[in-house]
A = this chain, B = another copy of it.
Amino acid sequence: MSRPITELALHLARAFVPYPWQPVEHAPDGPLSGLTFAVKDLFDVAGYPTGCGCPLWLAQSEVKSRSAPVVQQLLSAGARFVGKTHTDELAFSMNGKNAHFGMPLNGAAPERIPGGSSSGSASAVSNGLCDFALGTDTGGSVRAPANHCGLFGIRPTHGRVPLEGVHDLAPSFDTCGWFARDARTFARVGRVLLGDDPLSLATPRLLWPEDLWALVSPEVTEALAPSATRVSAALGGASAPLPRMRVTQAVGEFTFEALYWAFRHIQGFEAWQVDGPFIEGFGPPLGPGVAERFAWARTVTEAQKDAGWTLRRAYSDWLDRQLGPDGVLVLPTMPDIAPLAASPEDALQDYRERALRLLMISGLSGRPQVTLPLARRDGAPLGLSLLGPRQSDCALLSLVEQIAEAATRGL
């Protein structure tokens, strides 16, 4: 069986890791029949090594004899595997600028970073090289590239999609998400990977988290506001402004600063638990940003991690009370459009720190979040997100379909 993507496409987008092509069997029929998909190179796929965006990791990888269960689920549903995609090094970046394997092309804004760490998957889908693609999202690794590449992207409820056979970054935050160009494909994949929601979200109550909106510039809010109105209308809400609320405290336990450090400490501690032995054992020369983050992660103490967990648990409970069983946040996915690819590392680092404050809410609370490519600014895409109750993943995907359908009707 020949490679389903031309060599030219492979090279032009630089989305795929150029492994020698090995066909992977899929069911002849199924709910995903006719769809092609790509897989971030953190997931095991039978017949391929798992490189994790790190040359020494790739070198020591065996060729896998079994695919990760989530990949197998897609194959069994009839989807056709087309290749493994680049990831930021050990998934510990939000940029998509892998120092060793290069930067996949952002199909929606070629002069801008694709975002990461699921950079190649977003690149492959945004360049039309497959219908959907798997990524992972720990602190935003699906949502950031979806925002940057103009795609639908989901970070499911933590723990809902199995991560066996997938390299961890920080397990208590890690999730398996995916990208698609259209809402229908996006939801079809969800129906296979998610099953049914155990709880129903009959009437979502849309909320406007004013503290999260305060993190983005007036220009970004202005670019996203019409989409928020359209979302509200599509979901049968009033055209009146959404009810405002806060997901952090201006003063108190749950400030952005406190939550940010809780997130960072837990993520850093876990990342070092996962990758520290490899980094100490093999001494990989990590790329810019990644090296500094792991060096920092190594310094995080158990006490800091434990304090982070105490705050995280209390915050998650507090947020549950703020949002109730049906609250769905309408928020900006990222602080802005994708930075230019030529941005210096410190500008990217600054962007990342701002982004984490938006992205961490779902991570800390384990809640699912979908981003929709509804707006544009300076010729580049900008995503609007819905963040729902835990286990409302399918309901969120249905909302996405409703919104998309309303858009095609010109609403």
Chain A interface residues (CB < 8 Å from chain B): 11, 14, 17-20, 51, 55-56, 58-63, 98-103, 281-285
Contact = CB atoms under 8 A, between A and B. Distances in A.
Contact of A58 (B55, B99, B103, B283): B55
21 contacts: A11-B281, A14-B282, A14-B283, A18-B56, A18-B59, A18-B60, A18-B282, A19-B59, A19-B60, A20-B61, A20-B62, A55-B55, A55-B58, A55-B100, A55-B101, A56-B101, A99-B100, A100-B100, A101-B284, A102-B282, A102-B285
Contacts of A281: 11
Contacts of A59: 17-19, 51, 58, 101
A40 to B, nearest CB: 14
- Looking at A19, A20, A59, A281, the one whose CB has the most chain B CB atoms below 10 A away is A59
Contact of A99 (B11, B20, B282, B285): B285
A282 B11 contact: yes
A372 B131 CA distance: 60
A55 B14 CA distance: 13
A144 to B, nearest CB: 20
A98 B60 CA distance: 17
Contacts of A14: 282-283
A287 to B, nearest CB: 9
Contacts of A56: 18, 101-102
Copies in the assembly, this chain: 2
A262 to B, nearest CB: 34
Given A98-B285, A281-B11, A283-B14, A58 B58 contact: yes
A159 B199 CA distance: 73
Nearest to A57: B18
Contacts of A100: 55, 99-100, 285
A58 B100 CA distance: 11
Interface centre among A19, A100, A284, by most chain B C-beta atoms within 10 angstroms, is A100
B55 A285 contact: no
A60 B285 contact: no
A63 B283 CA distance: 24
B101 A285 contact: yes
A355 to B, nearest CB: 23
Nearest to A61: B20
Given A14-B283, A102-B282, A102-B284, 4 more contacts: A11-B283, A19-B60, A55-B101, A102-B283
A106 to B, nearest CB: 14
Nearest to A49: B59
A153 to B, nearest CB: 25
Nearest to A284: B102
A376 to B, nearest CB: 27
Contacts of A20: 60-62
Contacts of A99: 99-100, 285
Which 7 pairs of residues, A with B, have the shortest CB-CB distance? A55-B55, A18-B60, A55-B100, A100-B100, A11-B281, A102-B285, A20-B62
A110 to B, nearest CB: 13
Nearest to A20: B62
Nearest to A103: B285
Nearest to A97: B285
Contacts of A18: 56, 59-60, 282
Nearest to A19: B59
Contacts of A63: 63
